[in-house]
Chain A
Amino acid sequence: MNGTVDICNHCRNMMREKEKGIKMSRLISTGPSSFIPENEILGAMPLNDSTVMFLEEEFSSRMDNLTQVMGLHPHYLQAFLRCHYYLLRMDGPLPLHYRHYIAIMAAARHQCSALVCQHVQEFEQIGVCSDWLRGLEFCPQRLRNLNEINKILAHRPWLITKQHIQALVKTGEHSWSLAELVHAVVLLAHFHALASFVFGSGVNPDPEGTEVNGVTDDLCPPALSDLCTCHLTNSNQANGNPLRNPDTGSELEALMERMKRLLEEREDDDASEEEMFTRFEKEKKESLLVVSAGFDEEVVPPSPVARFVDDPSFGYQDFARHGEDNPPTFKAQDYSWEDHGFSLVNRLYSDIGHLLDDKFRTACDLTYYNMASHEGVDTSMLRRALFNYVHCMYGIRYDDYDYGEVNQLLERSLKVYIKTVTCYPERTTRRMYESYWHQFRHSEKVHVNLLLMEARMQAELLYALRAITHYMT
């Protein structure tokens, strides 16, 4: 490795291991994702022309790796792209270059160089204010003011209060209008969540369009994929085939058995309220213990995207910490997306509500009635468990959900993966990706990622919008 390129944490770990003499084959991945074999993606998608046409016609955009991976679920992809490009390209309160800059700021919080790079290029294409790309200190104060809610939303959204909103909106030279703020908040949440997806499914940075000049050279090193995607591909398997332990064959059966049992139990499960409450608390607490090992308190090395990050030490902290005054649980029934969030967002930034609504709905309702090799399975229970578990980690509670289900349905390795992908996606590794649900298809794992992404985005939005509502009343 030449010294000029910063290498991420993970590469370091890997090199360290290497030094210890562990045999490790370096996997230079090609294709859209470093977790998923290329033919899996291309094979699953006979490049469905309608999507491609849709992309090109409506947004004059190309198929990037992200789109290809997401293209495993074309139905969802449409909803996603519509929303994505509405946020970035269509009429809205913020000027175009602001939008991309906010995207950069958001993605940089998770050190997601792929997204940062992509939007740096888009920003350059707009062709104004290119010196902003030299770092946060070069952009206007107004944008810099967003840093505070950017970092809070990215790592600990429950901390956002109406004071934060007030500070941004209060009249002054650098103030934001509510409409602009809502646009910015949606952008931030969208790109935080997207970063989760990118890391979670190991999307490779796009090789194209590396022709960047000027100040951004170092942001998008031309051969990025050779140098640093290895942080996604740290794995003992060189061939990319999932590990098939003999005993994991029963894993799927066990899961399905549990689902069936839960469905039956539901009828006669008369858990008391306290019981339900403690189950939620337990799940919440347990999520603390689910930590991916080996990353504790490691200092983040300076990377080219760091220039877009303010206060880099601010990171994820568990919602429920031992022996501390925890922030109150967010009651989903008191502030829900359907009733409250939608109305607010749509009022201040017209039509985005419908697009987001469509996206959330598509993600939640998406099913092929499949589980690995089994067909005709109702997966709603599993999907809901995934969605609610993410919200649970963010301290959002549904009164009408039995959090005992989460414990039964989601195995520990999956929980580790979920927590990593949603809370600190930059630490996701290929090993984590492969350690759960061995028999499931890659497309199903991408489906999981979609759910995690949407759940995370909704959680962030709920907290932010609630703060805005409080500010307005």
Chain B
Amino acid sequence: MEHIAIRLKRWNKTYRLGETVYGVCVVNIPKPISHNGIRLSVEGSVALRSSAKNVGVFDSLYNTIEPLKILSINYPLLKPGKFPQGKTEIPFEFPFQPLVESKLIETYHGVYVNIAYTMTIVLARKGLSKNFEAKEEIYATVPPKKTFSLVAKDFMITPDSLKNVSKKMISKVPNFSISGKIDSLVCPISEPFTGHIKVDKSSSLIGSIEVQLIRIESCGSKKDGFVRETTEIQNLQIVDGNVSNELEIPIYVTFPKLFCCPSLLTKNYRIEFEINILVLFTNNAVVSENFPIQVIRTN
């Protein structure tokens, strides 16, 4: 049984800038103890890690770049004293405010970029006894600063529109025409990415059409150059088989929680997103079309 635990009042543990975090610290002990006080601390930081590919396995495990502190709160919750046997609840509250020179950044767990806010409560014991400790992650969301407008885009994929096809291969590319529309390249994170696609014609059989959501994390600096890391975070099939050519087929992709955050562009690190539309033909040919998108947080 845990001797000490944190219970936040807000069920989803998500907070915005300036909001007050309410909760209780629950101490539950089998016999009375005396203590040296309880301390509450909150740490918010951006942790970057250079890619394994660039530095090698050994380095990647140990040479993480020093995390950037963006939030730090530390205050005593209780003076030294005694706890009776059983359950004791100590309420706490603190404003969710970043350090003076930093901005609040949304919680995000990527492979190379990690933005997290952790709350810790430590009950200091007397003598050599081990301290009691409880940790809880708090999630930050940052409201958008400016208004945004949707950017719709029509697209058309034909053999001519392909860019990186060698001249040898061009003869092997089937004759096809696929058109469609993306409702917006600026995407609110809470809304799905939508659009539709239509196969106008295709000389060889289509096996599948897929929509891929790609995340690009890059970190480094202008001096040393950026390390880019792309991850596929969502891949949805929208067409299975050689589909009929008169019907508009909807594209509907949601942004998965935790793996996504609003697009982030800073000096040292960036998080960007792209959408790929892949057309897989039954003769193993694959055609893809890339659309960079901007993910934003909305109200």
A binds B: no
